[in-house]
Amino acid sequence: MLNEPTMHKLYAMKLNGLAEAYEEQRGQPKMASLSFDERFAMLVERQWLWKENRALATRLQYASLKEQACVEDLDYRDARGLKRAAIDQLSSGDWLQYHQNVLITGPTGTGKTFLACALAHKACRNGYRAVYYYAPKLFRELHLAHADGSLPRLFKKLAKAQLLVIDDWGLSKIDDQQHRDFLEILDDRHGHGATLITSQFPVNAWHETIPDPTVADALLDRLIHSAHRIELKGESMRRRKTKGV
């Protein structure tokens, strides 16, 4: 019997999906009624799905999203400014293809992080490489990278991400150097990658949070130009869940 050597070779070539499907077909007598082409097409389809699922798992692991969120799980019933048409448009991925930005603002608890992670998850499903950062943690990493000489490597990692998610922008105070670092990050990504930012502060108040007006102008010009804006509103969803509403 050549079955075992065949299985061994399939796994050795990392054709796991094909191997699993082949083993299943051997255990299903009804498969004998199908033509060779039909059975072979089923084997190839399983290998394709296995490869795609593995690639998606790798992208999601790299993204390190804070929440396990999907656009299919978004709740549009709450009067919080979330429009299905806008999410459907973003889900298509055109904004990623054209290296545009998404700015999500709103009070704490209105679902900004969940929405950001859902859009990033959809980007990963669409084949894009994303990376998530909680804003205060990103700026701590930038500060440490200056000290240990790893700043070029960190800049390179951020520039390579097709989608960079920065959650809770403006939550913590950062110094002039960190603002300039952030400007360099955005400059590296301009025309090469998309950026998604969430913030408790409305976009028109961001300029005031940056001490250097020149840097502020440059930052906002790169962020706001051609950006999709989502302004969430309403009561904290976490508070409502606690109340059982």
The DSSP-derived string for 126-174 is TT--EEEEEHHHHHHHHHHHHHHT-HHHHHHHHHH-SEEEEEEETSS--
Collapsing DSSP to helix, strand or coil, 1 comes out as coil
pTM, whole model, 2 decimals? 0.82
Query: Which residues does 139 contact at the CB level (< 8 Å), separation at least 6?
Result: 172, 174, 178, 181, 182
Positive or negative torsion for Cα 218, 224, 227, 233 = positive
Tokens 């059982």 correspond to what residue?
A: 244
- The values of phi and psi at residue 110, to 5°, are -90, 5
Instruction: Tell me the CB-side half-sphere exposure of residue 57, using CA atoms within 13 A.
Output: 6
Whole-number pLDDT of residue 33:
83
* Domain ranges for the chain: 3-62, 64-243
Under 8 Å between Cβ of 165 and 130? yes
pLDDT tens digits, one per residue of 1-25? 457 788 888 888 888 887 888 888 8
What pLDDT, on the 0 to 100 scale, is given for residue 123? 97
Residue type, 132: Y
pLDDT tens for each residue of 73-123 = 998 876 678 999 999 999 999 999 999 999 999 999 899 999 999 999 999
Specify the pLDDT at position 16. 83
* Segment 219-229, tens digit of pLDDT: 899 898 889 99
In CATH, which of 1.10.10.10, 3.10.129.10, 3.40.50.300, 2.40.400.10 is domain 64-243? 3.40.50.300
Specify the pLDDT at position 67.
95
**DSSP assigned state of 212:** -
Pairing assessment for the beta strands 101-105 and 130-134 based on DSSP bridges:
unpaired
